[in-house]
Amino acid sequence: MKKKEIRQFILSFVLALVIYGAIMFAMNSGIINSYWSGILVVACINVVLATSLNLASGYLGQLTLGHAGFMSVGAYISALSSIYLGTPFIISLLIGAVCAAVVGLIIGIPTLRLKGDYLCIITLAFNEIIRVIMLNIGITNGAKGLMGIPMETNFTVVFISAVITIYVIACIVKSRHGRAIISIREDETASELAGIPTSYYKILAFTISAFFAGIAGGLYAHYITILIPKVFDYNKSVEILVMVVLGGLGNLKGSIIAAIVMTILPEYLRAFSDYRMLLYAVVLIAAMILKEKNLVPHLKAKFLKKKDDVEEATE
Amino acid sequence: MQFFATIINGLSTGGMYALVAIGYTMVYGIAKMINFAHGEIIMVGAYITYVVFSLLGMPAFVAIIASIIGCALLGVVTEKVAYKPLRNSGSLAVLITAIGVSYLLQNVFLLIFGSAAITFPSFLPEGQIHLGGLSISYVSALSLCLTLICTVLLLIFINKTRLGKAMRAVSEDKGAAELMGINVNNTISLTFAIGSGLGAIGGIIYGLSYSLINPYLGAMLGIKAFIAAVLGGIGDIKGAMVGGLLIGLAEAFTITFISSTFSDAVVFGILIFILLVKPAGLFGVNVREKV
Amino acid sequence: MTLLKTEGLGIQFGGLKAVDEFNFEIDKNQLFGLIGPNGAGKTTVFNLLTGVYKPTSGQIIFDGKSLLKMSPTQITQYGIARTFQNIRLFKDMSVIDNVKVGLHHSQNYSMFASIIHTPNYYKGEEAIEEMALSLLRVFDLDQFAYVKASNLPYGKQRKLEIARALATSPKLLLLDEPAAGMNPTETAELMETIKIVREKFSIAILLIEHDMKLVMGICEKIAVLNFGTVLAFGSPEEIQNNPDVVAAYLGNEE
């Protein structure tokens, strides 16, 4: 088993290096212009968001509608830390992520002790409230936007962050901790009676998910360099959820692909941008009903094939 | 004086929350799901009234009835198309679908009416009822009276009629109810219809009290009403009413005596508090899971 | 040696006493049968013993400790594992992963260790894999190790549930109608397996079963439950000759 895992690890690592090398080459030689480089940075941030949400919603099975809220905590805190404390980029990132995780803990402890669907409503409310707070306290400069954030994020940074996020979540999911988390999704009572401390794992998985959302926020803040509360509204949370649902709940590769496709595709479909949200809604409903009717494997096969074409086109 | 005025204010908004919360609670009781789209159905109710009254020039009572019927139908259709296929799957799938439906309705109305607020027709006469030193606006009075009347009628319906009994049976145990010859599908449809119809009234009260409507109005209203339902004990109609009024009061007092910015945060705090202290809500009983 | 002892155990749902004044004892390594007509409160007793329900009166002493303050998770960790009347597997997980969830506490490598892949992690995972496979072998499930649990045929799902419960290394295993829905051949086979399990793991087993004959065949001691109280308690012979039991349980034959 050890050998097999190490081989797999090296293989994944080489694959990541090749993709990175190819994209960097394309950027430097001008095959990908600076506009598209920017899109790729956003795509990597979205990969971090989607994979981390997948941990909470896909693997743990708890619906979270406040991922954009955690992202905004990470974004604002890391930005403020960079601006006012002058902390180095990586420290700012970590401070922001830890704060997002702490907020996740505060929300998670009262909510996740309970069985039932309280988490989605409480995270939805949280998302609204955090946005209102960011709009109204002085230090964030409200709707005018927090400015003067140093530009630190580049493709290399987001790519490494995405790889680390994917790696960490993949490792957790494969371990005994991950099996405990998945068993809660499958049957919480049975999991409890198999000796799994369910509350602990629910809160832990949710907090880790919030942590990485915080990282994504910090990366975003130091890329866009101006933060406006509206960016982190409910729509952003739903968009991340659509990525996870489209890629498949509990499917890490799916989340990665869906995050990339859903960042790149809208650029091609500018003409239909008014209908984007409508499409998201339809995707959410259709994905669930088709899955119930067992039509997904078939569609997924088709979708994956199409995705390969997209990747070839971008490289 | 300000104190009493705040109470009146709170009860009036609270009445609106209560009407919406009853819809949540009824649907939760029977389908064991949080119908995220309920907030949007209220928004649709407000828009139907606007279209029928302001654009088509019909009398107010026609607009109100059209709105109630329209919402009831929308509720039933939503259930049939989106939720019924998922009746046997996990709560995550149903929740995601409900979010999809909510998002769909919101965005359809954004495409039709745009995101700008529209002036809601004020078909109630301007003016106030004077009670001692207090003055209550017609909207507030109407909101409170409607809430009380609807709750009482609903309680009578559920406890005294055959259909009501069927509803309670289905919410206890779908399988057993079916074996007793109850048409489960029709009963669930009826529940969605009543809940959504009440939502329409809530939407009209919203329009009358705030006089501006936009496609986003259902989102926050929906969350607050849901919190009211949890506060009262989800699944319990009396609880939803009391919860709604309490949330309304809490909000009004925060706005008057602290700041309007924090009213949402206070409501949210109430939710966290109730989940910590008494997750079953004020009137709820702890339901044991069958193992 | 007494392993489990209940004293005046009872629970009320509303006004209804589902279980009342329930007193019994199980010895270490004993095969114990709990029988009684439908609705007698057998599963409720299981739910009380495993902490799913909190008793309204009485005491449960297991291995020298009271279980009243413990959560279901803690009780399982302390040594009581169970199966369910209506099978509750982790359906979308593989057969072996179902067992591995039960083995969760057999290893203690941290989450951090699983991320940086310490030697402890590899050792732990290898141990878990080995234990899981050997458990599956006991139930002849090893060839299905990587099949999705929900794709197993019904009888094998029941066995997998027992394997998962055993994975928590219990001192007492509670089986809730393990033979429900099985044909006579499968049932006989299962009863053999239960005996083997008891010997191999040297644990006590408490069994709920409808089929009187079957329980009489393998259990060393039996408690008969009727209307939430213990009607009779003793060896199979004693139970068979107890007039109360005959009246309550076989009354319809007279």
Q: Could you tell me the pLDDT band of residue A312, with boundaries at 50, 70 and 90?
A: very low
Rounded to a whole number of angstroms, the CA Rg of chain C reads: 19
Contact status of C47 with chain B (Cβ, < 8 Å): yes
Q: How far is CA C73 from the centre of its chain?
A: 15
Domain presence at residue C106: yes
Task: Give the pLDDT score at A302.
Answer: 52
Mapping DSSP to helix (H, G, I), strand (E, B) and coil, where does residue C64 land? coil
Measured N-to-C along each axis, helices B184-210 and B38-50 cross at an angle, to the nearest 10 degrees, of 60
Strand partners, C226: C229
Query: What's the pLDDT score for residue B284?
Result: 74
Query: Do the chains contact at B288 and C13, CB–CB below 8 Å?
Result: yes
Tell me the C-alpha distance between A110 and B37, whole Å.
Answer: 25
State the Cα–Cα distance between residues A294 and A290, nearest whole angstrom. Answer: 6
Q: Could you tell me if A234 lies within 8 Å of chain B, comparing CB atoms?
A: yes
Exposed / middle / buried, residue B205 (Cβ in 10 Å: 0-12, 13-18, 19+) = buried
Backbone angles phi, psi at B129, to 5 degrees: -95, 135
* Stretch among A26-30, B69-73, B286-290, C218-222 having the lowest mean pLDDT: B286-290
Higher pLDDT among residues B88 and A177, named by residue: A177
Distance CA A112, CA A119 (A): 7
In degrees rounded to 5, what are phi and psi of residue C153? -65, 160
A281/B101 Cβ within 8 A: yes
pLDDT at B43 over 90: yes
CA nearest A179: which of C162, B106, C101? Answer: C101
Q: Are residues C74 and C195 in the same domain?
A: yes
**Which pLDDT does position C249 carry in this prediction?**
67
Give yes or no for A14 touching B (CB within 8 A).
Answer: no
CB-CB under 8 Å, C13 with B291: no
Residue B144 has pLDDT above 50, yes or no: yes
Q: Which of B142, B127, B114 is nearest to B207 (CA)?
A: B142
Which one of A61, A118, A274 has the shortest CB-CB distance to B92?
A61
| Residue A157 covered by a domain | yes
CB count in 10 Å sphere of residue A282? 16
Cβ <8 Å between C81 and A177: no
Confidence band for A301, pLDDT divided at 50, 70 and 90:
low
Q: Does A210 touch chain B (CB under 8 A)?
A: no
Chains contacting C (3+ CB pairs below 8 angstroms): A, B
Residue B100 and residue A282 in contact, taking contact as beta carbons nearer than 8 Å: yes
- Return d(Cα A24, Cα A30) in angstroms, integer: 10
Same domain, C175 and C75: yes
Q: How confident is residue A261, by pLDDT bands cut at 50, 70 and 90?
A: very high
Q: What is the per-residue pLDDT across A185-224, written as a single tens digit (0 to 9) for each?
A: 999 999 999 999 999 999 999 999 999 999 999 999 999 9
Q: Please, which residues bridge with residue C232 across strands?
A: C224
Predicted confidence at residue A80, as pLDDT, reads 96
Which tokens is B288 given? 């044991």
Q: Do C104 and A180 touch (CB under 8 A)?
A: yes
Q: CA B168, CA A62: separation in Å to the nearest integer?
A: 28
Nearest chain B Cα distance for residue A275, angstroms: 8
**Residue A7: exposed, middle, or buried by beta-carbon count in 10 A (0-12, 13-18, 19+)?**
exposed
CA distance B117 to A247: 36
Burial class of B54 by CB neighbour count within 10 A (0 to 12, 13 to 18, 19+)? middle
Q: Please state, in angstroms and rounded to a whole number, the distance separating the CA atoms of residues C201 and A104.
A: 43
pLDDT tier for residue B287 given thresholds of 50, 70 and 90: low
Structural domain containing residue A132? 38-232
Q: Are residues C174 and C67 in the same domain?
A: yes
**Closest by Cα among B17, B32, B37, B40 to B241:** B17
Q: Structurally, how many domains does chain A consist of?
A: 1
Whether residues A189 and B289 touch (CB distance < 8 A) is answered with: yes
Same domain, C41 and C12: yes
Q: C165 lies in a domain?
A: no
Q: Do C101 and A204 touch (CB under 8 A)?
A: no
A39 touches chain B (CB under 8 A): no
Q: CB-based contact (8 Å) between B109 and chain A?
A: no
Residue ending a domain, among C110, C133, C159, is C159
CA distances from B246 to B224, B252, C151 (A): 11, 10, 50
Q: Residue with structure tokens 């694959």? A: A15
In terms of CA atoms, which chain A residue is nearest residue C119? A2
Q: Nearest Cβ partner of B96 from A126, A234, A245?
A: A245
Residues C223 and C247 in one domain: yes
Q: What is the ipTM of this complex?
A: 0.92
Asked whether residue C212 falls in the same domain as residue C240, the answer is yes
| pLDDT greater than 70 at residue A307 | no
Handedness of CA A8, A13, A17, A20 (dihedral sign): positive
Domains of chain C: total:
2
Specify the DSSP class assigned to residue C68: T
- Of B211, B244, B241, the closest CA to residue B228 belongs to B244
Shortest Cα–Cα distance, C87 to chain A (Å):
10
Contact B215, B43 (CB under 8 A): yes
User: Percent of chain A scored above 90 by pLDDT?
Assistant: 68
Residue type (1 letter), A7? R
pLDDT at A311: 39
User: What was the pLDDT predicted at A309?
Assistant: 41
Average pLDDT over residues B80-97: 89
C128 and A176 within 8 Å at the Cβ level: the answer is: yes
Poorest-pLDDT segment among A133-137, B83-87, C13-17: C13-17
Interchain CB contact of B277 with A (< 8 Å) = no
Which residues in B lie closer than 8 A to residue A121 (C-beta atoms)? 34, 223, 226-227, 230, 271
Q: Which strand (E) or helix (H) includes residue C105?
A: none
Contact A189 C88 (CB under 8 A): yes
Across A214-234, b (16+ Cβ under 10 Å) vs e yields bbbbbbbbbbbbebbbebbbb
Choose the closest CB to A193 out of C76, C109, C117: C76
Report d(CA A264, CA A47) in Å as an integer.
12
- Full 3-state SS string of chain A: CHHHHHHHHHHHHHHHHHHHHHHHHHHHCCCCCHHHHHHHHHHHHHHHHHHHHHHHHHHCCCCCCCHHHHHHHHHHHHHHHHHHHCCCHHHHHHHHHHHHHHHHHHHHHHHHCCCCCHHHHHHHHHHHHHHHHHHHCHHHCHHHCECCCCCCCCHHHHHHHHHHHHHHHHHHHHCHHHHHHHHHHHCHHHHHCCCCCHHHHHHHHHHHHHHHHHHHHHHHHHHHCCECHHHHCHHHHHHHHHHHHHHCCCCHHHHHHHHHHHHHHHHHCHHHHHHHHHHHHHHHHHHHHHHHCCCHHHHHHHHHHHHHHHHHHHC
Residue of chain A whose Cα is closest to the Cα of C127: A1
Whole-angstrom distance, CA of residue A155 vs CA of residue A165 = 15
The CATH number of the domain where C179 resides is what?
Answer: 3.40.50.300
Asked if A2 is an interface residue toward chain B (Cβ–Cβ < 8 A), one would say no
- Residue B104 has its nearest CB partner, among A132, A136, A285, at A285
pLDDT of residue B288 exceeding 70: no
Residue-range definition of the domain harbouring residue C104: 88-159
Residue spans per domain, chain B: 23-218
> A48 — contact with chain B (CB < 8 Å)?
no
Q: What is the mean pLDDT of residues A47-73?
A: 96
Q: Which residues of A touch C88 (CB under 8 A)?
A: 187, 189-190
Stretches where chain C sits below pLDDT 70 are: 249-254
Residue B92 has its nearest CB partner, among A63, A122, A126, at A63
DSSP-derived 3-state class of residue C4: strand
Is C102 in contact with A187 (Cβ distance < 8 A)? no
- Does B216 touch chain A if contact means CB atoms closer than 8 Å? no
Searching chain B, which residue's CA lies closest to the CA of residue C42?
B291
The nearest alpha carbon in chain B to C53 belongs to B288
Residues of chain A neighbouring C167 (CB-CB closer than 8 A): 194
Residue C228: what pLDDT? 85
Long-range CB contacts (< 8 A, 24+ apart) of B277-280? Answer: B279/A114, B279/A118, B280/B233
Measured between CA atoms, the residue of chain A closest to residue B107 is: A278
Assigned domain for A219 exists: yes
Alpha helices per DSSP H over chain C? 42-49, 72-78, 95-102, 111-116, 119-138, 154-167, 184-201, 212-218, 236-241, 243-249
